[in-house]
Amino acid sequence: MKATQPLRIRPAQVADIDQMVLVHIQAFPGFFLTLMGPRFLRLLYSGFISHATGISLVACTAEKPSEIVGFVVGTTQPQGFFSQLLKQRWFSFGVASLWPLLRRPNLVLAKLWSALFYRGESLPDQPNATLLSSLGVKPALQGQRIGHQLVNAFLEHAQTAGAPAVYLTTDQSDNAKANQFYTKLGFELAGNCKRPHGRILNRYLIKLNA
């Protein structure tokens, strides 16, 4: 096992967005959001940082405090977050989508249409749960428990904000590592949901102590 590096985890700032996008691209090659490109990702992550309900954290090592090695973002109100973000920045998201749309029109159109109605795949019996939307760690540093520390810090921030629980979704198939990662952290499988093109996502939930 790789040695664990001392970490500093802090709230993300606007100046961190470019590095967060870089980590995302490295951590999720071939994923839809990565295919949408850096401009689209910058808009998305700046939305989490600037929104009042957003929780955005970054991790830096003691050796290189200016270099971001991982991040986690989410929102305490997923039912309203994504619709508000689209309403506020629809033009910018539209412009950022033009080049990906020209390259892969069928895929991008279907995904963007789905995004218009996306509400974070919330759980009916946990309407006030906080959504952990994205977690990324530089591939070269995976295995050093950076993701564990980021998730634990996210849970603490959600609890401070008054959230009774935190939930997330991740792919069901060909994704054993991620599914095991969240169950080891204490998340419990709370069902699944079907996305466009037959993609099945597992929903995970962890209840926070009062």
Domains in the chain (CATH in brackets) are 7-207 (3.40.630.30)
Q: Residue 103 and residue 41: Cα distance in Å, rounded?
A: 17
Rg (CA), the chain: 17
Question: Could you give phi then psi for residue 110, rounded to 5 degrees?
Answer: -65, -45
Contact 59, 68 (CB under 8 A): yes
Q: What is the pLDDT of residues 181-194, one digit of tens each?
A: 999 999 999 988 88
User: How many C-beta atoms lie closer than 10 Å to residue 59's C-beta?
Assistant: 24
- Label residue 1 by pLDDT band (50, 70, 90): very low
Residue 209 has pLDDT above 50, yes or no: yes
User: How many C-beta atoms lie closer than 10 Å to residue 82's C-beta?
Assistant: 21
Token pair of 54, please? 């957003």
Token pair of 106, please? 């069928």
Residue type, 179: N
What percentage of residues in the chain have a pLDDT greater than 70? 81
Instruction: Report CA 24 to chain centroid distance, whole Å.
Output: 9
Mean pLDDT of 63-73: 93
User: How many C-beta atoms lie closer than 10 Å to residue 167's C-beta?
Assistant: 24
- DSSP for 140-160 reads GGTTSSHHHHHHHHHHHHHHH
User: How many C-beta atoms lie closer than 10 Å to residue 203's C-beta?
Assistant: 20
- DSSP for 66-98 reads TSEEEEEEEES-HHHHHHHHHHHHHHHHHHHHH
Which pLDDT value is given to residue 169? 92
Average pLDDT of the chain to the nearest whole number = 85
Which pLDDT value is given to residue 109? 47
**Of 56 and 198, which is predicted with more confidence?**
56
Which pLDDT value is given to residue 121? 63
**Of 124 and 163, which is predicted with more confidence?**
163
Crossing angle of helices 105-116 and 78-103, in 10° steps, is 170
Q: What is the pLDDT of residues 152-177, one digit of tens each?
A: 999 999 999 999 999 999 989 999 99
Residue 10 has pLDDT above 50, yes or no: yes
- Label residue 120 by pLDDT band (50, 70, 90): low
Q: Answer positive or negative: Cα dihedral of 6, 4, 56, 205.
A: negative
> Among 36, 43, 41, which Cα is nearest to 110's?
36
